[in-house]
Amino acid sequence: MEPKKIFILDANVLVHDPFAPLNFAEHTVCVPLVVLEELDHFKSENTSRGKNARQAIRLLDDLRGQGSLKDGVAMQSGGILRIIGDQKRDFELFRQEYANMDNEILIDSLKIKEENPTSIVRLITKDINMRVKADAIGLEVEDYMRQFFTQEDVYKGWISVAVPSIALKHGIPEELYALADAKKCLMNQYFLVHSENNEQNYKIFKYRGGRDFVVVEQPHFMWPIIGKNPQQIMAFDALMDPTIQFVTLIGGAGTGKTFLALVAGLHEVLTTRAYERLLITRPVIPLGPDIGFLPGDVQEKMHSWMQPIYDNMDFIVHLANKNVRNEQPDDRRTKKKDDRHPHDAVHRALPSLDALIQLKKISLEAITYMRGRSIPYQYILIDEVQNLTPHEVKTLITRVGEGSKIILAGDPFQIDSPYLDFSSNGLVVSSEKFKNEPYFATIFMQSSERSLLSQRASELL
C-alpha cells in the first residue's frame, strides 16, 4: 500500500498560484497558520502578489464553509486541506515585529512529520534558502512546479533542418515531407531549411497541417524596414498572418521583440486596416528598488512605464520618415495626384506615437484595468510578459474579443518578479500550453540586433 502523502505549503507557493492546494490530487495539504498571516500582510497590495494573496484567502474561506479547517476539509480534487500550527505560539509571533516566519513553518513541518511517522511529509516552497534549511534538518522539500520546462526543451516555434544545397532549388524539400509523415511537425511551426555547407543559404517554410508547407518571404512594408535574421522574418510572418490570433515572442535583450510587434501592428492598423487600433500595455514592475509614487494623472504616470514603447516608436518613425525627408521638393510636386495613395500622409510620413494616440490609432493602457473587458477588432501587444503569472496571462487572453489579435512578448531570462522563474512565468507556460493550436504561433528570438555591445552583455553577464 502506498504511504500517505502530506504536503505543507509555504506562503510563496500560494502567492505564485492561489489555487495550488487543488493541485495535489487525493493527498493532504497543510497550510501553516503563519502562512495565513503572511497572506494577510500581502493582501492590501495593489500588485499581482496582493491579488493572488486575496484569491488564496477567498479559496480558503470557501473551503471553510464546508467544514473545519483545523480538522480538515475535503476538496474537489479528492484531497484534504488543513490549517496547522500552535495557536498560542503563533499569536505571540504575530506581535513580534521581526519574527522569523520561515523558521516557524519548518517547526510546524517537523511536528507534522513526528505525528505521522508512516507518511511522506514534504514541504513545498519556492524559496531556495528555505529548501536548503529544510534539507539540513531532515525534511523532504521541493519546489512548486506544476509545469516545468528547461531552457533546452522549451518549445521555440521553429527548428533548423540541413539539406543538400540542390534541395533548396526545387520547391518543398523531401526532408520536410518526411518530418510531416513522421508526425514531427506542429501547426504553424517554422522550418529554417539551410544548405549543409552554408547556413546563410536558406529558405523558411511554415507548416500548415497534413503535408502542407508554405514558403515564408521577407515582408513588404511602406517603410524601409525588413527582418534582419531568419527569426525576425518568421516573427513578421506570424504577426501579420490573419489566421493566427495569438503570437508569443520570446527572446533576450535586443532581439527585436517589441520593435517587430510595433512595426507589424502599425502596418496592420494603418496600411491594411485589418484592425481598428493598436492597444499596448505592460506590467508595472520596476527594475531594482522602486522610486516611489509618480506624479500626475493616469496618462502621465503611464508615460514613465511606457518609455520603452516611446523609444521603439521614435526609432520606427525615424526609419519610416527617412526617405520622405530625403525626397526632393520637386519630386513631391511632380508626383501625379492619381498616383497617390488615398491615405498617403499616413503611409509616407508616419506620425509620432503621441499623434497616433490623438488619432485613436494607438492606445496605451494600464494592465491593472484589463480585467472584465472585452476587446474587439484590436491588435493587442502586451510587453514584458515574463513578469506575469500564468493566471494573469489567462485573464489577459480571455479579454480578446471578436476580430482581435494578441501578442505576448518578453524575456524569460530577465524576470523581475521574485515569485516567478523561467519555467513558471506566464509567457513560457502559455507558449507551451498553446503549441500545435491552429491559431497560435511562437518564435524564440536568438540573435541580438541592438548592438555588438548589447549582444556581448547578454552573453557575458
Domain boundaries, the chain: 5-142, 231-287+294-325+343-460
Decide which of 3.40.50.10740, 3.30.70.980, 3.40.50.300, 3.30.70.1250 is the CATH code for 231-287+294-325+343-460: 3.40.50.300
At 178-214, the pLDDT tens digits run 999 999 999 999 999 999 999 999 999 999 999 999 9
Asked if residue 372 has pLDDT above 90, the reply is: no
What is the per-residue pLDDT across 38-57, written as a single tens digit (0 to 9) for each?
999 899 887 778 888 999 99
Task: Give the pLDDT confidence of 380-432 residue by residue, as tens digits.
Answer: 999 999 988 888 899 899 999 999 999 999 999 888 877 777 878 899 999 99
**Pairwise CA distance, residues 185 & 212, whole Å:** 11
The reply to whether domains 5-142 and 231-287+294-325+343-460 share a CATH topology is yes
- Report angle CA 139, 142, 146 to the nearest 5 degrees: 150
User: What is the rounded distance in angstroms from the CA atom of residue 7 to the CA atom of residue 13?
Assistant: 12
pLDDT at 17: 86
Whether 334 has a pLDDT exceeding 50, the answer reads: no
Local structure of 278: helix, strand or coil? strand
Count of other CB atoms within 10 angstroms of residue 282: 24
Q: What is the DSSP string of 135-184?
A: HHTT-EEE---SS---TTTS--SEEEEEE-GGGGGSSS-HHHHHHHHTT-
pLDDT at residue 25 in the model: 84
Under the banding of pLDDT at 50, 70 and 90, the label for residue 328 is very low
d(CA 13, CA 50) in angstroms, rounded, equals 13
Superfamily of structural domain 5-142: 5'-nuclease (3.40.50.1010)
